[in-house]
A and B are shown apart, each in its own frame.
Chain A
Amino acid sequence: MTLQSFLEMGGYAAFVWPAWGLSLVALVVLTLVSWRWMRRAERLAAASSLKAPDADPSARPPSEPVA
């Protein structure tokens, strides 16, 4: 099998490559977006918990997270 025949996909290149390409792109984008969201949220939460000295130290922690 040559590179040429591989790329041509037996004449179906216009279908096979977009299908695989879109799958790759969509999943990569989803991963990156989720990763960045996670980093940003965790960074903000960590920063805020260091920065909240005026929170009442004797306040009860919530019995259950906001749900």
Chain B
Amino acid sequence: MNIWYYANPERFAGLARTLLPWTMGLALILASLATVWGLAIAPPDYQQGDAMRIIYVHVPAAWMAMFVYAVMAVSSALAFIWNHPLADVAAKASAPIGAVFTALALVTGMLWGQPMWGTWWVWDARLTSVLILFFLYLGYIVLWSAIEEPARAARAARILALVGAVNLPIIKFSVDWWNTLHQPATVFRMDGPTMAPEMLTPLLIMGLAYNLLYVAILFMRMRAEIAERRLRTIRLGLEPAGS
């Protein structure tokens, strides 16, 4: 089974339909487990107390923010090089999910920052990079909706995603460099100096749960896109009835 077998949109939609309940179910189970573990079972941090528990929703969100963009970039590359018909769909469907994760990472980061550092916002390298990533997501989403013709929009979006992906390391590097210039004092390590296994395990479980949730929502959105495309071709009279 290779990706080209599922290049046919209808076949993929069928696969997504089958897998959806499993991914969603597993995501919910793992999320519940991680929630109980993170909120109740894991011990409070010796420095940050119970405020540290925000880590279990902040870090997975930040991980997903970056992971989803990577998926978008790879999908866009696949679309660009091989014209895999579903690659554009995967990228387009992923973007809003990634944007939500990014926004969550920012908001939970702020909620974590206020009790820790006394200010709602801090221009540390991590938060700043995530903020810029949020704007990259926004621009990508806006580009898709701003170009009316779907084929053109797809081709433009691919290029934008790839340009963004190439620029991200440069942006990240420049933000890190800028940060060390202006903040020589304490380095605010959001992960804490070392991660004890009591904290790491629920964190990883939540990370996995978030990832599965992304896949589930992606399946939903891709099915919706595929259905809408089919609708468009039907309405254009190109597709015979009953197929």
Question: Least Cβ distance of B237 to chain A in Å?
Answer: 5
**Is A23 within 8 A of B112, CB to CB?**
no
Give the B-binding residues of A (Cβ under 8 A): 1, 6, 9-12, 15-16, 18-20, 22-23, 26-27, 30-31, 34-35, 37-38, 40-42, 44-45, 48-57, 59-62, 64-67
**Is B107 within 8 A of A62, CB to CB?**
no
B-chain residues with CB within 8 Å of residue A11 when the two chains form the complex: 49-50
Contact with A along B190-232 (1 / 0, CB 8 A): 0000000000000000000000010011001101111111111
Give the A-binding residues of B (Cβ under 8 A): 9, 35, 39-40, 44, 49-51, 53-54, 57-58, 61, 85, 88, 96-97, 100, 103-104, 107-108, 111-112, 114-115, 150-151, 154, 213, 216-217, 220-221, 223-235, 237-243
**Is B111 within 8 A of A10, CB to CB?**
no
Considering the chains assembled together, what is the distance between the CA atoms of A30 and B186 in angstroms? 37
Give A29's nearest chain B residue, CB to CB: B100
With A45-B230, A55-B241, A59-B238: A19-B50 Cβ-Cβ less than 8 Å: no
**Is A30 within 8 A of B241, CB to CB?**
no
A-chain residues with CB within 8 Å of residue B224 when the two chains form the complex: 34, 37-38, 40-42
**Is A27 within 8 A of B100, CB to CB?**
yes
Give A60's nearest chain B residue, CB to CB: B238
**Is A52 within 8 A of B213, CB to CB?**
no
Question: Least Cβ distance of A42 to chain B in Å?
Answer: 4
Interface on chain A toward B: helix, strand, loop, or mixed SS?
A: helix
How many A-B pairs fall under 8 Å by CB?
150
8 further contact pairs, Cβ within 8 A, besides A30-B217, A48-B234: A10-B50, A11-B50, A15-B114, A19-B112, A20-B53, A34-B220, A42-B227, A61-B240
* 7 A-B residue pairings within 8 Å (CB atoms): A12-B49, A15-B115, A30-B97, A49-B243, A53-B241, A61-B239, A65-B85
Considering the chains assembled together, what is the distance between the CA atoms of A30 and B98 in angstroms? 11
Considering the chains assembled together, what is the distance between the CA atoms of A12 and B114 in angstroms? 10
With A10-B49, A37-B221: A66-B107 Cβ-Cβ less than 8 Å: no
Among B53, B226, B237, which residue has the most Cβ atoms of chain A within 10 A? B53
B-chain residues with CB within 8 Å of residue A27 when the two chains form the complex: 100, 104, 213
Question: Least Cβ distance of A14 to chain B in Å?
Answer: 8
Give A30's nearest chain B residue, CB to CB: B100
A-chain residues with CB within 8 Å of residue B230 when the two chains form the complex: 45, 49, 65
Give A62's nearest chain B residue, CB to CB: B238
**Is A10 within 8 A of B44, CB to CB?**
yes
A-B interface, 9 closest residue pairs, ranked by CB to CB distance from nearest? A10-B50, A41-B227, A12-B51, A9-B50, A38-B224, A45-B227, A10-B49, A34-B220, A23-B57
With A10-B50, A23-B108: A45-B150 Cβ-Cβ less than 8 Å: no
